[in-house]
Structure 1
Amino acid sequence: YHLARKHSDSTPDAILKLSGMMRFMLYECTSPRIRLSQEVNVIRDYLDLERLRYGSRLDVSFQVEADDEGQFIAPLLLLPFVENAFKHGASESRGDTWVRIFLLLKKGALSFQVENAKDPLEEMAAEGIGLKNVKRQLELLYPGYRLQLDGRGDQFSARLRIDLSNEPEP
């Protein structure tokens, strides 16, 4: 909305990214499983929108190393961790900020890590509804998952490990 009001040249790109994300959430997420490449693409679109929002104040990196991006995964399982990095990190920062995301898939073993800058004086927030919902989904779909959250010092990190080797096709 803000981009359109100021007649920004970025408005068409922002609308295109947002409409793609909405289309994904409305139509693709009705399936119990999607390809990892689809989840990666929606994360990329989200990051592009945040880059528009924060401009040069934001240093963001997203590294993907996957031996099979056609691997199936539950939809919108990873995006909430990325959203949290902005909600509890970048949006509360008054100056420059950063977010680093790393996804590794090797022989069905998924490792997903999100790190972000945070105010060192801020306590680690109590678990919000988004994280509770993701944990519930992980417990139901991937009971052997491992999730580590660490909010000490001037950064927050979330590390998730899931075995997708027996993941059924939709």
Structure 2
Amino acid sequence: MSAEEHVAKAIQFHEEGALTKPNQKEGVAWLRKAADSAILEIADDEHLIKDGKTVDALETKTRKAQFALSIYELGVSHMNGWGIEQDKVLALRCFEIAGSWGDADALAETGFCYAQGIGCKKNLKKSARFYRQAEAKGISMIGNSWIYKPKYQDDDEATAIPEPRLSTETQKEKKSKHHIFGRNKS
């Protein structure tokens, strides 16, 4: 199945589970497959760029935005223990990745995690940065005017979470037995 088909299947299971009989484990399995496919497709693009080949930047950006939803939803599942073991550190990492790929909700969730110290050490500067990025993408930050106070401004706004990358050597290995988060597939 293509990554797009994995995302569609995950959304289908998610929607069906919310209405009648939840099948959270199967939904999470499809989300993981979508996330795995996404990171490999993006890594393939990066590999082509390293080899000096032309890759449509808009197409890569669009691909990241499409798959950010699956990674965000996987983060929500890890945060709440829905269909998978609760792991708040991994949930935060999912939100960071999805946010770096353009998902506004993921940016807001990341900001919340840093503000509350969920899955990380509390860090209001980081929280404010993610909240400002979420607001720039249209998320309402009513009641969060504190994010613009000088003490919560980064000295260097260029310290954003780096996008996940796979080295050329490990790309083949990851295709065969790993997924985006570096844990073995079962």
Instruction: State the TM-score, normalizing by the size of structure 1.
Output: 0.35
Compare the two structures and name the one with the higher helix fraction.
2
Larger RCO (alpha carbons 8 Å, 6+ apart): 1
Compare the two structures and name the one with the higher strand fraction.
1
Instruction: State the TM-score, normalizing by the size of structure 2.
Output: 0.32
